[in-house]
Amino acid sequence: MSQAGAATVARGEIETAAQARRRSNRALRALLMLGGIAAVAGGALGFWLTGGRYAYTDDAYVRAALVPVTTDVSGLVGDVLVHEGEHVKKGQVLFRLDPRQFEIAVAKAKAQLAETALEMEALKRTYRQMQHQIEAKAAEVENDQVNFNRYANLVKTGGVTRSQYDDARFKLIGDQQALESLKAEAESVLAKLGGNPDIDVTQTPQYLEAAAVLAEAERELDHSAVRAPFDGIVTRVDRLQPGQYLSASQGAFGLVSDEDVWVEAQPKETEITWVKPGDPVDVTVDTYPGRVWHGVVESIAPSNDSQFSLLPAQNSSGNWVKVVQRIPIRIRIERRPEDPPLRAGMSVETNIDTGHRRHLRDLLGMVGG
């Protein structure tokens, strides 16, 4: 074979081998593409099946029971007995108003109560005296009636003059009217005694009213010493100074509970499909990286916060844009003695384990729908 023929054969073999490699590469690429698609689809399916169980949100904060310390009486501040950041116990006196005006009011109410008791005793004696007067006047009227009847018979025979007859008649009428007036006065006095002339003076309406005034004065005196409604930490104490006039219901300073603490999460409405009270929750606080608190879903709000606003949003206009709402969830935290303090307002991340698991039938239902 000539050299030209040998070269032609060699080129043909090379081209054949190259075509075989290209066919093999195309088959490998197709296999890899199909495998990649299958892997992605499998991974996506696995992610979908294992997803949906946890509801996560970073829109959450530590909340605590807090109250502006105040009282329902007005007066000058006398003593402030706590300082900023101090831990106080329930019932501990936090500050006092100047008690003198309240002590004076109590003394006045006590005097009024004693005076009322004396007045009621005097009223009882007055009623008894009036009863005696009524009896005497009734006897007088009876005697007048006898005289009038006798004069009425004698005037016909001339035994008495017409003037004497008229005097007897007028006297009878006058005494009868006086008797009725005494009876009316006695009924009025008896009404003030509650219809019972032998009533205990402490049970009369007037005495009970005076006793209520005294009780109110004593209550105001007691409330002039302001006590903590629960255990907690006082804050902004420097807003209250001795000598300052404090009006009733005016906040003096704040009290934040260190026991009644919870987390309020605001997840999107689309994330709470399977959330229910009692679900376990992992809580992390931005202030303490790496530390995890455990808790449970205590309650789910029946509405979003905007429903309680003065003017709730109305979506009746033609340019309405749908906005995903957030539903408040209250989470009870399990706290241990060694845990660092949680302060109201701290930023929190929550991860709720709903326990829900997806199945292929759910996906098929979605596809079929």
Can you give the pLDDT at residue 192?
Answer: 82
What b/e string do you get for 114-153 counting C-beta neighbours within 10 Å, with b at 16 or more? eebbebbeebbeebeebbeebeebeebbeebeeebeebee
Fold of 54-63+260-307+323-368: Elongation Factor Tu (Ef-tu); domain 3 (2.40.30)
Question: Has this prediction a pTM greater than 0.85?
Answer: no
What gap in Å lies between CA 198 and CA 322, rounded to an integer? 77
The per-residue pLDDT for range 202-254, each reduced to its tens digit, is: 888 889 999 999 999 999 999 999 999 999 999 999 999 999 999 998 999 99
Domain at 99-223: CATH code: 1.20.58
Can you give the pLDDT at residue 315?
Answer: 61
Local structure of 7: helix, strand or coil: helix
Domain boundaries, the chain: 1-50, 54-63+260-307+323-368, 99-223
What gap in Å lies between CA 221 and CA 72, rounded to an integer? 11
The per-residue pLDDT for range 42-74, each reduced to its tens digit, is: 665 555 555 568 889 999 999 999 999 999 999
Can you give the pLDDT at residue 317?
Answer: 60
What b/e string do you get for 285-309 counting C-beta neighbours within 10 Å, with b at 16 or more? beeeeeeebebebeebeeebeeeee
